[in-house]
């Protein structure tokens, strides 16, 4: 056993290097939106994709992608929402896709600041049209941090799809210790997740396409994982201070974010049961907006945007209420 431990530590040391983070620089330009990118105040250009309805939209969605993904992840839901009269924009965040320094973490606060700036720019393109923020997984955590307390005044509501809220408080001691050790010893060590046998979606063809996409990051640095967990801690802490209308989407078969952290966080939303609610999909996985039943989820999102007070067409909000009640009775 000591020999195995020594071999593990040696491999960490050989595979590691110093932690590297790429924080934003000082403001040097005015933030601006172009047709295929937007420019942050520090001069960084972040690629933008848009899916627009044929006529004037009745609502606008600014979507934020998940870990190791990029804006193309919203191609399916973007087209579907555009067909329902909702304009959708998405951009590559720092460290992802064609954004600067792919594979390297910036910070949760930097990504939240980018989102607040991008929200103002997108709202400026559609004056008077309600703007909603949609975050998937890590993007959901970014949306939560960006809108807690004093949200951007342009934002009418938020949609959190399988938000990344697995903070340290809900990790066991072995998970926290493994993360701490890996970050201390080898922050540059890259992990692929091979062998974990985790299924993020039942849409196998979509997963195969992701595996072939060169812009999807396949190996994650330990310091980026540390940054993600910091962001999830921040998102959990932000939840009680989110006062915007909110829809949280959760899949009962999610193997990425455990159920307990998700429902514990949902329960802390201050407007739960009135302006804030959750939706539970029994056959849903982590990639709800790209699963085989994505059309059902997109229909619910469009219906909620059109009238947040009405029950969701699928009944997923009723199932979420039942799940919350069951957990409350434990």
Q: What is the pLDDT of residues 288-309, one digit of tens each?
A: 999 999 999 999 999 999 999 9
Q: Is 62 helix (H, G, I), strand (E, B) or coil?
A: strand
Domain that holds residue 271: 34-328
- Work out how many domains the chain is built from and give that number: 1
Helix-strand-coil percent breakdown of the chain, rounded to 5? Answer: 40, 15, 40
pLDDT in tens, 242-257: 999 999 999 999 999 9
Residue 32 has pLDDT above 60, yes or no: yes
Q: How far apart are CA 134 and CA 127, in angstroms?
A: 19
Q: Per-residue confidence at 195, pLDDT binned at 50, 70, 90?
A: low
pLDDT in tens, 231-245: 999 999 999 999 999
Residue 27 lies in a domain: no
Q: What is the predicted pLDDT for the residue at 17?
A: 61
Residue 194 has pLDDT above 80, yes or no: no
Residue 205 lies in a domain: yes
Q: What is the predicted pLDDT for the residue at 2?
A: 42
Residue 15 lies in a domain: no
Residue 147 lies in a domain: yes
Residue 224 lies in a domain: yes
DSSP state of 92: P
Helical segments of the chain, H only: 2-15, 75-82, 108-125, 138-147, 173-185, 204-212, 222-238, 259-267, 294-306, 316-328
Q: What is the predicted pLDDT for the residue at 116?
A: 97
Q: Per-residue confidence at 196, pLDDT binned at 50, 70, 90?
A: confident
CATH of the domain at 227: 3.40.50.1820
Q: What is the predicted pLDDT for the residue at 94?
A: 97
Q: How far apart are CA 308 and CA 277, in angstroms?
A: 9
Residue 6 lies in a domain: no
Residue 324 has pLDDT above 80, yes or no: yes
Contact 187, 104 (CB under 8 A): no
Residue 323's φ and ψ, nearest 5 degrees, are -65, -40
Q: How far apart are CA 231 and CA 295, in angstroms?
A: 29
Residue 16 lies in a domain: no
DSSP state of 312: P
Residue 83 lies in a domain: yes
Residue 157 has pLDDT above 60, yes or no: yes
Q: What is the predicted pLDDT for the residue at 1?
A: 43
Please state, rounded to an integer, the average pLDDT across all residues of the chain. 92
Residue 115 has pLDDT above 90, yes or no: yes
């Amino acid at each position: 056993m000591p020999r195995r431990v020594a071999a593990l530590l040696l491999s960490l040391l050989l595979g590691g290097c110093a932690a590297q983070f790429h924080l934003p620089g000082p403001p040097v330009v005015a933030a601006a939106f172009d047709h295929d990118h937007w420019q942050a105040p520090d001069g960084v250009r972040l690629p933008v994709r848009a899916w627009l309805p044929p006529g004037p939209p009745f609502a606008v969605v600014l979507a934020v992608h998940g870990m190791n993904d990029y804006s193309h992840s919203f191609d399916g839901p973007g087209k579907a929402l555009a067909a329902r009269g909702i304009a959708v924009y998405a951009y590559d965040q720092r460290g992802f896709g064609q954004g600067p320094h792919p594979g390297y973490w910036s910070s949760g606060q930097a990504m939240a600041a980018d989102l607040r700036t991008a929200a103002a720019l997108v709202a400026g393109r559609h004056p008077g049209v309600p703007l909603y923020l949609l975050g998937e997984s890590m993007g959901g955590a970014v949306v939560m941090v960006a809108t807690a307390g004093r949200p951007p005044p342009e934002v009418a509501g938020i949609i959190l799809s399988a938000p990344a809220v697995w903070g340290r408080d809900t990790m066991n001691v072995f998970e926290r210790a493994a993360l701490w050790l890996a970050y201390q010893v080898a922050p540059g060590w890259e992990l692929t997740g091979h062998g974990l046998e985790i299924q993020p979606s039942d849409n196998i063809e979509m997963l195969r396409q992701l595996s072939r996409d060169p812009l999807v990051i396949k190996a994650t640095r330990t310091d980026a994982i540390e940054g993600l967990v910091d962001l999830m801690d921040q998102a959990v802490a932000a939840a009680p201070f989110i006062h915007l209308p909110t829809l949280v989407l959760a899949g009962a078969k999610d193997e990425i974010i455990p159920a307990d952290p998700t429902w514990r966080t949902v329960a802390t939303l201050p407007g739960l049961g009135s302006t804030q609610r959750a939706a539970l999909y029994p056959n849903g996985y982590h990639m709800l907006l790209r699963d085989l039943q994505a059309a059902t989820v997109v229909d619910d999102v469009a219906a909620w945007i059109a009238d947040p007070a009405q029950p969701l067409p699928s009944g997923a909000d009723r199932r979420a209420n039942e799940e919350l009640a069951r957990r409350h009775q434990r």
